């Protein structure tokens, strides 16, 4: 799965205290559809139980964690040991690393089965990601809206549409200054797979 000839130009998202670049149509429609189908079928999906506000809740989405040996990741009371990279994941990883100019050792996959699946407000600021993590978020399938809000100035918000076959690069102070979420939607939409590539400290 290679980037289309003539790499897409990144669009800088204008946000204070953040560094976001959106790359559209990184894969052709046919390549993205084939990749979506294979990831949906081959990924070891799980529905995790999360610790939120002192209680255990079932995550409103399916997830999976893959990466290098030792790339253990913990969030919301869940500790994830990586599964071994698969061939399609390594292909996507190579494409994303070439596009963004960063190396990654792990990926969190989320499957949103319908508009009823969602992700609550959070920042990817776990200690094992370091002080200014670089995260590349790949979107495949249905277009969904990412919501962003400033952590110190919650009145500063942004709605960003993430289309099929796109990559959103988040870096710099983004995670320390902003939260993001993927809210539920009543609009009819199909399934979406999101892959967030990151680098965690071995542990």
Q: What backbone phi and psi angles, to 5 degrees, belong to 174?
A: -55, -50
Q: What is the pLDDT of residue 156?
A: 95
Compute the half-sphere exposure of residue 48: CA atoms within 13 Å on the CB side of its CA. Answer: 19
97-to-90, 92, 134, 197 alpha-carbon distances in Å? 10, 9, 11, 9
19-to-11, 14, 104, 177 alpha-carbon distances in Å? 11, 8, 18, 11
Placement of tokens 């000839």 in the chain: 5
What is the model's pTM?
0.93
Q: What is the pLDDT of residues 111-145, one digit of tens each?
A: 999 999 999 999 999 999 999 999 999 999 999 99
Q: What is the pLDDT of residue 3?
A: 44
Q: What is the pLDDT of residue 48?
A: 81
15-to-20, 21, 91, 197 alpha-carbon distances in Å? 8, 11, 31, 22
Q: What is the pLDDT of residue 7?
A: 74
The CATH number for 11-198, chosen from 3.30.1330.10, 2.60.120.590, 2.60.40.1120, 3.20.20.70, is 2.60.120.590
Q: Which of 17, 6, 9 shows the shortest CA–CA distance to 166?
A: 9
DSSP secondary structure of 44-66: --B--EEEETTEEEE-SSEEEEE
Q: Which helix (H) or strand (E) holds 187?
A: none
SS3 state at 98: helix
Q: What is the pLDDT of residue 84?
A: 97
Q: What is the pLDDT of residue 77?
A: 77
Both tokens of 105, joined, read 């050792």
Q: What is the pLDDT of residues 4-17, one digit of tens each?
A: 446 788 999 999 99
**Residue numbers of the chain with a pLDDT score lower than 70:** 1-6, 52-54, 203
Cα 159 from chain centre:
16
Alpha helices in 13-153 (DSSP H): 29-42, 87-100
């Amino acid at each position: 799965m290679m980037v289309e000839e003539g790499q897409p130009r990144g669009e800088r998202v204008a946000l204070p205290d953040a560094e976001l670049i959106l790359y559209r149509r990184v894969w052709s429609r046919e390549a993205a559809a084939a990749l979506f189908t294979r990831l949906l079928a081959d990924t070891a999906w799980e529905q995790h139980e999360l610790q939120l506000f002192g209680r255990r809740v079932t995550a409103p989405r399916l997830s999976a964690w893959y990466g290098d040996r030792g790339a253990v990741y913990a969030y919301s009371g869940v500790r994830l040991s990586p599964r071994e990279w698969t061939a399609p994941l390594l292909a996507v990883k190579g494409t994303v690393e070439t596009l963004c100019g960063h190396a990654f050792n792990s990926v969190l996959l989320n499957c949103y089965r319908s508009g009823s699946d969602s992700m609550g407000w959070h920042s990817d600021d776990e200690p094992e990601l370091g002080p200014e993590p670089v995260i590349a978020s790949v979107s495949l399938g249905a277009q969904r809206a990412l919501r962003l809000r400033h952590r110190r100035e919650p009145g500063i918000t942004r709605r960003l549409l993430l289309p099929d076959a796109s990559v959103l690069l988040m870096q710099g102070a983004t995670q320390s200054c902003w939260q993001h979420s993927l809210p539920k939607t009543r609009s009819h939409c199909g399934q979406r797979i999101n892959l967030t590539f990151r680098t965690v400290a071995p542990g």
